[in-house]
Structure 1
Amino acid sequence: MPAPRTRGTALRQRLAELRGPEVPPKALDARALAALAANPGCERRALLDGAGVNKAVLADALGSPSAFGQSQFAFMRGNAFEARVKADGGAVLLRLAHERLDPGAEPPVAASVPDLAAVGPEGRAARTALALREATDAGGWALLDHPMLALDVAGSPAFLEPDAVVVHPDGTWSVVEIKSFPMLDGSADPAKVGAAARQSAVYVLALEEVAARITPVPEVRHRVLLVCPKDFTNLPTAAALDVRKQRAVTRRQLARLTRIEEIADALPENACFAPALPQEELTTAVEALPASYAPECLAACELAFHCRARSRTEGAVTSLGRATRAELGGLTTVDDVLAAAHGRAGDPDDPAVAALRRAAELRAEALGVSVERRKTTAVLPGSVPEGAPCR
């Protein structure tokens, strides 16, 4: 059996071959990792993200360009707001952390802001771990601006960069997430807050891995600081988010991911995802990776349009949503569902089949279709059979 270092080197070389010669890797950020954890059965995304493949460029090369992503205006606005929050050594940010997370502690009059510069992500992660250890031992407030954290994902390290981490005077650590969407009268868009909570939960997990290597183990707080513009101004305000639920879900889903080397070993030797390859060859390589498409992917994955087209072509019920897929049990295609509903296939004792047949009977009664005709005619959902009364 090869040594872990040799195995890791071989895996990195294999992933570089899958990306393509001279194609730089795309870093896996917490937003993508949270989306991956929400769909652990998608081996396609797991390998492409683990290999650092730019899925937006890949989608363009496949002929299914994606509209997923942040606009340049929103990106610039977010950077400007973050710079304002962290101005003057993070005085405003630390004040908000004191007010929302730790009001019983001494005010952050003099806080340390360690330098986290280092070469490469591995070097920055090591420097971050050292700075966290030093700040915890020193006591007092400390602010780590854009630290680098490493998190094991399907057997491969993912390097994550939260907006900030605060070290409290009692030695506990808190994640800070800065967003440019507004808080109106103390509340914000629930969907955006939920996405921020899932992203922060990823950072909490990565921070816990750092804490586990320190003796005694520091506590990583499960209440994170969400900083947003106040009302219609550019003034920062903040709220504390409890991410214990999101952390537990993300940790469980990440544990379910198939290890990246296992997925890579199942691919053909000549598989490659370099965008410069011919479209037919690229499509063949992508289709060799099992995907688990659901409508939720449209808001979280650059390859969603490509996977949706394939899912519809194959008649997969997952294109109707995960909830529908879960209700249908072993029926995996639309043809299987229709056949079961009209009595041409399926076990009558199967609860899903029985429910489908009962639904088909009720629909037939509502449309005035005879039972005999219903058994010989496949009626697609939403269609009106010939001779049925118009309503």
Structure 2
Amino acid sequence: MTSSSLPKQTPPQGTAPADRQATVQRLAELRGGPDVPQRPLDARALAALAANPGCRRRALLDGAGVDKSAVAHALGSPAPFGQSQFALVRGNAFEAAVKADGGEVLLALLCEHTGAARPDPAEVTVPQLTADGPAGRAFRTRQALIEADGGRWTLLDHPLLALEVAGSTAYLEPDALAVHPDGTVSIIEIKSFPILDGSADPVKVGAAARQAAVYALALEGLRTVRESALLVCPKDFSNLPTGGLLQLRKQIAATRRQLRRLTRLEEIAAELPEGVHFAPDQEPAALTAAVESVPAAYAPECLSTCELAFHCRDRARSAGDVVALGRSVRGELGGLTTVDEVLAAASGDPDNAAAKDPAAATLRRAAALRAEALAAAEPATAPGPEAR
């Protein structure tokens, strides 16, 4: 594989210290106070946010570090979100196995897929990245990347990267980074789902590629990132590691574009009513009002990526919003945004404004076909005694 220098991202403009401190204080207030722990904004959350950049609700709550799972429970709409304990234990055990012996297995797989010469384990540098707090770990990672010696391999185990997103700093933790002798960096993602007969679940592979793209954005300006990341998974039904390459160029371009579309957090927070916060231990009515004060952009895909998805789905259904049926359906319906408008357009009533929408003719045809299908499916009426 040849390395490629990805398009450089213009570094975000620095925020004045006073403004930044005001934003940090405001986000702490939204969590319920400075004593409320901040939930980290990780690569998985950023990838999901990038896929739905129009959702201000998720952008603000994730950026402020609000515990959305606790909020969902308090609202009475908990979501079965996240990995099971068994999956977490299995994943941690697999990751520990492939990182044993100084990452010899990881580098062997990387060299196998990139065509590089396999290094002697004694010649691989594995810097210590421990430090107090996320900012300290991110600084140690940055220093290790800058100091990586060209001409030999460097393997970073669980580095921490910082990325500015919508006015908030996200700390991202790749499974591993490998600095090649030529100075380029490979992102390594370790997952517990299997690669069966050379292929894996495309949905899970796509999610891994989006996470890797977020890491690539955080690395810009530090090192040249290779255009492919290494995905390491169990082979078939064993615990033996195997790998494959994730192409990142398109994912990076799409993720960068989507993250740039996010409204800055201070702008969203400025539109909230006075005193609004998202502490889950407040009165249920107040918490509901606080959540509803931030516009959401629900789509069925949110059910697998956001803890508040059930709450937002219930609200979308109650409002009769067609987006609850999916983005593809919403796109087909044009200017018809509610279920009532869709039914009115399908009824054929010429006096209804919805009947003039370009999608109305298609809806009337679909309604007619549905009526025919239902009529054909009705069982024949049994003959009465007089007909026997």
Q: What is the number of residues matched between the two proteins?
A: 362
Alpha-carbon separation, structure 2, partners of 1:355 and 1:346: 16
Partner of residue 235 from structure 2, selected from 221, 230, 234: 230
Partner of residue 201 from structure 1, selected from 213, 234, 240: 213
Alpha-carbon separation, structure 1, partners of 2:199 and 2:365: 45
| Matching of residue 390 in structure 1 with residue 378 in structure 2 | yes
Task: Assess if the C-alpha contact under 8 Å between 1:162 and 1:175 holds in 2.
Answer: yes
Partner of residue 283 from structure 1, selected from 288, 310, 321: 288
What percentage of residue pairs aligned between the two structures are identical? 65
Alpha-carbon separation, structure 1, partners of 2:172 and 2:154: 20
Task: Assess if the C-alpha contact under 8 Å between 2:108 and 2:118 holds in 1.
Answer: no
Alpha-carbon separation, structure 2, partners of 1:268 and 1:79: 43
User: Quick one: structure 1 residues 170 and 105, their matched pair in 2 at CA, closer, same or farther if it must change by over 3 Å?
Assistant: farther
What does residue 114 of structure 1 align with?
A: 127
SS at match of 1:13: helix
Q: Which amino acid in 1 is paired with 2:327?
A: R
Alpha-carbon separation, structure 2, partners of 1:31 and 1:66: 17
What does residue 167 of structure 1 align with?
A: 179
Q: Which amino acid in 2 is paired with 1:312?
A: R
SS at match of 2:329: helix
Alpha-carbon separation, structure 2, partners of 1:139 and 1:165: 16
Q: Which amino acid in 1 is paired with 2:275?
A: N
Give the CA deviation at 1:200.
1.2
Give the CA deviation at 1:121.
1.5
Alpha-carbon separation, structure 2, partners of 1:64 and 1:194: 28
What does residue 256 of structure 2 align with?
A: 251
Partner of residue 267 from structure 1, selected from 268, 272, 275: 272
C-alpha RMSD of the superposition: 1.9
What does residue 55 of structure 1 align with?
A: 68
Alpha-carbon separation, structure 2, partners of 1:264 and 1:166: 39
| Matching of residue 69 in structure 1 with residue 74 in structure 2 | no
Q: Which amino acid in 1 is paired with 2:243?
A: A
SS at match of 1:228: strand
Give the CA deviation at 1:388.
9.4
Alpha-carbon separation, structure 1, partners of 2:76 and 2:310: 10
Alpha-carbon separation, structure 1, partners of 2:377 and 2:228: 59
Correspondence 1:209-228 to 2 at 5 A: 210-211=221-222, 218-228=223-233
Give the CA deviation at 1:360.
3.5
SS at match of 1:351: coil
Alpha-carbon separation, structure 1, partners of 2:111 and 2:278: 47
| Matching of residue 177 in structure 1 with residue 189 in structure 2 | yes
Alpha-carbon separation, structure 2, partners of 1:79 and 1:220: 26
SS at match of 2:232: strand
| Matching of residue 338 in structure 1 with residue 346 in structure 2 | no
Alpha-carbon separation, structure 1, partners of 2:120 and 2:94: 21
| Matching of residue 187 in structure 1 with residue 199 in structure 2 | yes
Give the CA deviation at 1:275.
0.9
Q: Which amino acid in 2 is paired with 1:317?
A: V
Give the CA deviation at 1:347.
6.1
- Structure 2: gaps (5+ residues): 1-13, 380-388
Render the CA deviation track for 1:137-187: whole Å, top value 9, x for unaligned. 443101001111111211211110000100001110010000011112222
Alpha-carbon separation, structure 2, partners of 1:354 and 1:9: 56
Give the CA deviation at 1:119.
2.1
Task: Assess if the C-alpha contact under 8 Å between 1:336 and 1:345 holds in 2.
Answer: no
User: Quick one: structure 1 residues 228 and 262, their matched pair in 2 at CA, closer, same or farther if it must change by over 3 Å?
Assistant: same
Task: Assess if the C-alpha contact under 8 Å between 1:165 and 1:176 holds in 2.
Answer: yes
Q: Which amino acid in 2 is paired with 1:74?
A: A
What does residue 26 of structure 1 align with?
A: 39
Task: Report the TM-score when normalising by structure 1.
Answer: 0.88
Alpha-carbon separation, structure 2, partners of 1:129 and 1:192: 29
What does residue 131 of structure 1 align with?
A: 144
| Matching of residue 356 in structure 1 with residue 363 in structure 2 | yes
Alpha-carbon separation, structure 1, partners of 2:15 and 2:239: 53
